[in-house]
Amino acid sequence: MVRRDKTNYVIQSVAHSLDVLEQFSRDVDELGVTELSKRLKLHKNNVFRLLATLEARGYIEQNRSTENYRLGIRCLNLGRSYINHMGLVRQARPILSDLARRCRESTFVGIVRRDAVVPLEAAEPEDRVVKITPPIGESLPLYCTASGKVYLAFEADEELKSTLPEQMRTHTGQTIIDRSKLLEQLAAVASNGYAVDNCEYMEDVCSVAVPIRDYTRTVVGSLAVAGPSYRIPAERVATEIAPVILEAGQDLSRRLGYNE
């Protein structure tokens, strides 16, 4: 039996509806019919009908003062349902809280989606005035974040390493964009058991991450600690944070069925 490509079954109107939702991002709160029409290369009447349908179901809402459209509350509910149904997140919550308390820094668990690492759940220290708020749901690059390096260093699939862009973007003065130097660092990560982002993605922000494995021994997530760079010098990483996060990572992996 010949297996057909699922793209043959795509319903165009549903695809266009999803295209509408995907136009809204962290940097774009609201859009009008004209702008959406230009972005999607669709007739205004078609865009209006798509918006009306999405609005009726609560996935889009209209700002009555500007007449522009924005994401509706159902999008948030759907995202929460996705997170709540993931076994990784459920098992990670108590570990994240305990890790934040022990390290006195923010913690988060993330997964790889579409060649990027996406934080799904986080915990913050209660006794810090200055703390890092993990960007939940935001796509972060693999090559310059501790959580991303964990996948590149510990995931055996060579295809994952091939996802590195030919021209790696410089985010800060510390970003490693030389492929050979990055691969050297990944070898050290594999040897040490944890990865470090030393202000490579965001200025003055450091993070440390370890891999999370499940019963198949596959890397299914990453556990990270993040804080201001002045509070996370190399000495503290080696003597205080690394031992604690390695222990927490092993605990979470065991909860997911991993057996060393």
d(CA 170, CA 201): 8
- All structural domains of the chain, each given as residue ranges with its CATH number in brackets, are 6-77 (1.10.10.10), 86-255 (3.30.450.40)
Per-residue pLDDT of the chain (260 residues; tens, 9 = 90+): 445 566 677 788 899 999 999 898 767 789 999 999 999 999 999 999 999 999 999 999 999 899 999 999 888 878 766 665 567 888 899 999 999 999 999 999 999 887 889 999 999 998 888 889 888 888 899 999 999 999 999 875 565 556 677 778 899 999 998 888 988 999 999 999 999 999 999 999 999 999 999 888 888 899 999 999 999 999 999 999 999 999 999 999 988 888 87
DSSP single-letter state for residue 6:
G
d(CA 157, CA 119): 21
Contact of 106 with 125, CB cutoff 8 Å: yes
Query: What pLDDT, on a 0 to 100 scale, did the predictor assign at position 49?
Result: 93
Four-residue CA torsion sign, 247, 253, 259, 260: negative
d(CA 157, CA 259): 20
Residue type, position 116, single letter: A
Q: In what order do the strands lie in the sheet with 116-123?
A: 116-123, 106-113, 219-228, 205-213, 195-198
Residue written as tokens 């050979």? Answer: 180
Pairing, β 205-213 against β 69-71: unpaired
The reported pTM is 0.70
